Amino acid sequence: MKVKKAVITAAGPQQRMLPLQRVVDSDGREKTVLAILVEKALTADIDSVAVVISPGDEERYSEALGKNRAQIRFIPQPQPLGYGFAVYTARDFVQGDPFLHLVGDHLYVNRSAKGTAEDLISIAQTADCPVSAVQPTREHVLHRFGTIGGRHVAGRKGLYRVETVIEKPTPTEAEQRLFVPGMRAGYYLSFFGMHVLTPSVMEILGRLHANSPQASMTLSAALAELAQRGQYLAWETEDRRYDIGEPYGMLIAQLALVLSGRDRNDLLSRLVELLADREMAAAVNEGPR
């Protein structure tokens, strides 16, 4: 299969303003979060990108894109019925094709030469099946992520055949149902916020919505069913994801971006100066003993 489309979801009530925030990217240039996400998709040889937004946000999102506006289509989400419904809202754009999916409230920092999106698409096209990026995640933060259980694909390091998907499991649920051979104690494979999905996902989401038109849908529910239908893989990436909607999430993501780029040494020098100033101030306030 060939993956030439991407869908970014950004319509959640607590999410819609986050992609408009400005940060300094690893190349030293100031950009919006949305512009960085779109660049990652286009760099992975994506031809067109749809951004699912709240109705009325088209103008401000268009202004946030800069030079890449022409390749972007905005799709208003008519009802706030959850993450799964946000993805389903892009069904006419997808038109039965496989697609890359990213979430609008994460920033991704590459450790690999190519980048997560490009690597993920390559794996999906070679395996000819849906693939989700995952990352080892400590059990005390599993309530923030969809999490998978499965087994290694023989001869493929970091690649797993997904058997179970649970949205925001408790540590007890994870221990009982999300075992992955070789994971260290207290860690599980949670979604990275980036997937290559096939038309089957849209079909599953459509049926879930038809069965309960006013119910909120999670994407994990559709992915759990997808895992029972055929081959669905998870790839453990060494890159990093940062949820900018969490407390201090934007700050941590900004630091990670700069530390991965050309201004690393300058930032480290400034951080050392800041810490030294605070230590000196603390010492003065304590006074002689």
Q: What is the pLDDT of residues 32-63, one digit of tens each?
A: 999 999 999 999 999 999 999 999 999 999 99
pLDDT at 282: 66
Give the number of residues written for the chain.
Answer: 289
pLDDT band at 182; cut points 50, 70, 90? confident
pLDDT at 1: 87
The answer to whether residues 147 and 169 touch, using CB atoms and an 8 Å cutoff, is yes
Q: What is the pLDDT of residues 121-158, one digit of tens each?
A: 999 999 999 999 999 999 999 999 999 999 999 989 89
pLDDT band at 114; cut points 50, 70, 90? confident
Higher per-residue pLDDT: 113 or 21: 21
Boundaries of every domain in the chain: 5-286
**Other Cβ atoms closer than 10 A to 158:** 13
Which architecture does CATH list for 5-286? Answer: Alpha-Beta Complex (3.90)
Give the torsion sign (CA, 203, 97, 82, 234): positive
**Average pLDDT estimate for 279-283:** 69
**Average pLDDT estimate for 226-255:** 93
Tokens encoding 4: 């030439």
pLDDT band at 272; cut points 50, 70, 90? confident
Q: Are strands 99-103 and 72-76 parallel, antiparallel or unpaired?
A: unpaired
pLDDT at 283 over 70: no
Give the torsion sign (CA, 186, 194, 202, 84): positive
Backbone angles phi, psi at 180, to 5 degrees: -130, 120
Q: What is the pLDDT of residues 58-92, one digit of tens each?
A: 999 999 987 788 889 999 999 999 999 999 999 99
Residue 270, helix vs strand vs coil: helix
> What angle (nearest 5°) sits at the alpha carbon of residue 187, between those of residues 186 and 189?
150
pLDDT at 287: 58
Q: What is the pLDDT of residues 202-220, one digit of tens each?
A: 999 999 999 999 999 999 9
Kind and range of the H or E run holding 134: strand 131-138
Kindly list the distances between the CA atom of residue 49 and the CA atoms of 54, 190, 234, in Å, as whole numbers in the listed order.
Answer: 16, 25, 23
Token pair 């980036």 in the structure block, residue: 194
pLDDT at 117 over 60: yes
pTM for the predicted model, two decimal places: 0.90
Nearest to 271 by CA among 251, 289, 250, 246: 251
pLDDT at 105 over 90: yes
Average model confidence (pLDDT) across the chain = 91
The answer to whether residues 53 and 74 touch, using CB atoms and an 8 Å cutoff, is yes
Share above pLDDT 90 across residues of the chain, in percent, rounded to a whole number:
74
Kind and range of the H or E run holding 228: helix 219-229
